[in-house]
Amino acid sequence: MLTIVKSLALNGLDSYIVRVEVDVSSGLPGFDIVGLPGAAVREAKDRVRAAIKNAGFDFPAKRITVNLAPADLKKEGPVYDLAISLGILSSTEQIDSEWVNVYIFIGELSLDGSIRSINGVLPRVMLLPADGCDQVVVPAENADEAALIQSIKVYPAPNLIRLIRHLQGEELICPHTVDSNKFWTKRNVTGDMSDVRGQLVVKRGLEVAAAGGHNILMLGSPGSGKTMLARRLPGILPDLSLAEALEITNLYSLAGLLQPNQPLVTERPFRSPHHNTSTSALVGGGKYPKPGEISLAHLGVLFLDETAEFKRDALEALRQPLEDAVVTISRVHSSVTYPARIMLVASMNPCPCGFLGDTERECSCTPLQIKHYLNRLSGPLLDRFEIQIDVPRLTFNDLENSPPGEASETIRQRVQAARETQFTRFGKEACNAEMSPAQIKKHCRLNTEAADLLRTAFNRLKLSARAHNKIIKVARTLADLAGSEQIQVEHVAEAVQYRGMERKYWGA
């Protein structure tokens, strides 16, 4: 007898219906799973056999064939256990099959028949409203996550016996609902900008970067405060909207990084990978491509501390995602695309010993050592940092006598106001750093004085076309922070100042 049960698979963040076709027929006992199953799927036969027996049902001593259609797409993970077990029980007439076309089933079975949580529930169920099937059975632990999509009915199943009682109409499971507002907690930010003494220019640069979503490079001697400043950046970033939170939660669900009892990511990510991170870990990859650090930082911050110590190929792999805001990973059997709208924050020393240009300590590096060290950051990648800032050494008086700076919340309010101006301008949740050339032409008109200054800077600094556009984007952000509709000459002047590091250290 043949039974067809529906489940859900993922290709990157795109989900699709999988028809779990279960045929139980006479013949020598056997259990085969076909349809490009991965290792975890092939192992389902042992989990399903034990779960059915321990739930009090009979496992048939017959020929069992399970086909996962479409058969030309790779199936990974234990998500199909539940659908396979129900297909077997229905095909052997141990349970009625009236429910077959009503629900979609996802979940992993334990040997005792309980249903375990799985990764990637949210990106799977987001397909359902468009697909026309709006009822899904999920593991009880994943119920809150699935119920974030309010247009579907979510049935949390703790174990196989309880689910079968529901399907047979003996003991119904109520659809699970959840109010996403209860997961919005108070901002949990480590450290405050007021903790940082001095460094007013760097704080200003971080504020501009946060307001416009610009990439920023900080360069200075060891102990000048680069890492401390970067780790306080999340405290001045604007709040997430629900749509943005769902985008981030999709990625974290797929990666298995959601926190217990917190199915919704409500704070902007701050990812800080170690400098020995591989290229695949940074941009994503693997035999079955998974999101990397740049995608896990989507709508947040990717912080590269000691940037010059990262592998050259890993850094170069960031160039395309920084321009396109997506990462496309191609393999023989599939190609997936993950979002990567990030702020790249990088910090590094100016030389191997770290004291080039230091006012207190003399650099011990040779010119050739300095050149090789700085060249670990290529020109094209350097060009992608709209804001480049020197972080000078602090003196004793700076540390002891400087008054406390502005609190992060005060800065955040200005950043939030600037972002709201940009949302109104673009008609969507986008920031100045993402402007296309057409949008730059439309929204960034310069008066004669500002245009003359930009022309002079472009010729003297020998800037690229990309650098030209990035200066205009930063100037637009500076105008937004000042509440100015038009970009003034002082905004262009400050934006140009953020490009001086290339000439100072790289000789560009």
pLDDT single digits (tens) 331-368: 777 789 999 999 999 999 999 998 998 888 889 999 99
pLDDT at 44: 95
In this model, does residue 508 exceed pLDDT 70?
no
Q: In whole angstroms, what separates CA 68 from the centre of its chain?
A: 30
- Residues paired with 338 in a beta bridge: 327
Q: How confident is the model at residue 148 (pLDDT cuts 50, 70, 90)?
A: very high
C-beta separation of 353 from 364 below 8 A = yes
In this model, does residue 201 exceed pLDDT 70?
yes
Q: How confident is the model at residue 507 (pLDDT cuts 50, 70, 90)?
A: low
pLDDT at 199: 84
Distance CA 357, CA 355 (A): 6
Distance CA 123, CA 146 (A): 9
In the chain, where the domains are located = 2-178, 193-428, 435-508
Distance CA 467, CA 502 (A): 11
Give 110's contacts (C-beta < 8 A, 6+ positions apart).
47, 51, 116
Distance CA 318, CA 424 (A): 30
Give the C-alpha distances (Å, rounded to integers) separating 46 from 85, 393, 417, 448: 11, 63, 57, 75
In this model, does residue 182 exceed pLDDT 90?
no
Phi and psi at 337, nearest 5°, equal: -125, 130
Cβ-defined contacts of 242-248 (< 8 Å, 24+): 242/180, 243/429, 244/299, 244/429, 246/122, 246/148, 247/298, 247/299, 247/339, 248/298, 248/299, 248/300
The amino acid occupying position 456 is: T
Class of domain 435-508: mainly alpha
Nearest to 87 by CA among 72, 70, 104, 111: 104
pLDDT at 502: 72
Nearest to 345 by CA among 391, 278, 311: 391
Q: Whole-prediction pTM value?
A: 0.91
Nearest to 206 by CA among 458, 484, 411: 411
From the number of C-beta atoms within 10 Å of its C-beta (0-12, 13-18, 19+), residue 296 rates as buried
Q: Which two tokens stand for residue 397?
A: 């008086």
Q: Is 247 helix (H, G, I), strand (E, B) or coil?
A: helix
Distance CA 300, CA 237 (A): 8
Give the C-alpha distances (Å, rounded to integers) separating 321 from 216, 289, 298, 388, 495: 16, 16, 11, 20, 23
Distance CA 267, CA 199 (A): 26
Average pLDDT, the chain: 91
State pLDDT tens for residues 451-473: 999 999 888 888 888 889 999 99
C-beta separation of 385 from 215 below 8 A = yes
State pLDDT tens for residues 2-17: 999 999 999 888 889 9
Query: Architecture of domain 2-178 in CATH?
Result: 2-Layer Sandwich (3.30)
> What is 193-428's CATH topology?
Rossmann fold (3.40.50)
Bridge-based pairing of strands 284-285 and 290-291 is: antiparallel
**Range with the poorest average pLDDT among 154-158, 270-274, 380-384, 475-479:** 380-384
pLDDT at 313: 93
Please report which helix (H) or strand (E) contains residue 88, including its range: helix 81-91
In 6-70, alpha helices (H): 39-42, 44-54
